[in-house]
């Protein structure tokens, strides 16, 4: 699968993202959602990223993933994280976003109160 290169998206290998997240270490998990876990990672160039590892339980096919990447690559807003790239390596589907150091919008809108 190749998404149009002029969109500025980088195609990562699974090995690159595996390394960037410290072998998908639990200590690098920064969130989770309906589609899988999100890991903090550092690319070879030193850039900090958030890597969403898409859950295979959703069984998203190659075409659906390609459409999702295409749509996300077109979103440009200060309210959305930028999509830097993706990986579609055999059964692994991952999205690579810019990293938001202070947490996501949901954590700020709905803080977990400690009792």
Segment (H or E) for 74: helix 62-74
User: Is 52 marked as a binding-site residue?
Assistant: yes
pLDDT score at 112:
61
Could you read off the pLDDT of 28-44 as tens digits, one per residue? 999 887 678 999 999 99
Question: Is the pLDDT assigned to residue 1 strictly greater than 60?
Answer: no
> How many other CB atoms sit within 10 Å of the CB of residue 18?
18
Token pair of 112, please? Answer: 């977990």
Q: Backbone phi, then psi, for 112, in 5-degree steps? A: -80, 120
Question: Is the pLDDT assigned to residue 21 strictly greater than 80?
Answer: yes
pLDDT score at 110:
66
Task: Output 109 or 87, whichever has higher pLDDT.
Answer: 87
- Find residue 41's DSSP bridge partners: 49
Distance, CA of 30 to CA of 82 (rounded, Å): 17
pLDDT score at 49:
96
Task: Output 61 or 83, whichever has higher pLDDT.
Answer: 83
Could you read off the pLDDT of 34-81 as tens digits, one per residue? 678 999 999 999 999 999 998 775 566 777 788 888 888 888 777 778
């Amino acid at each position: 699968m190749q998404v149009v290169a002029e969109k500025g998206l980088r195609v990562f290998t699974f090995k690159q993202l595996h390394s960037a997240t410290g072998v998908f270490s639990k200590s690098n998990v920064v969130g989770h959602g309906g589609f899988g876990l999100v890991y903090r990672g550092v690319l070879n160039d030193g850039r900090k990223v958030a890597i969403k590892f898409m859950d295979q339980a959703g069984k998203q096919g190659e075409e659906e993933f390609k459409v999702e990447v295409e749509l996300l690559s077109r979103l440009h807003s200060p309210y959305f994280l930028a999509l830097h790239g993706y990986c579609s390596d055999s059964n692994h589907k991952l999205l690579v976003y810019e990293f938001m150091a202070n947490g996501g919008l949901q954590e700020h809108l709905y803080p977990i109160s400690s009792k």
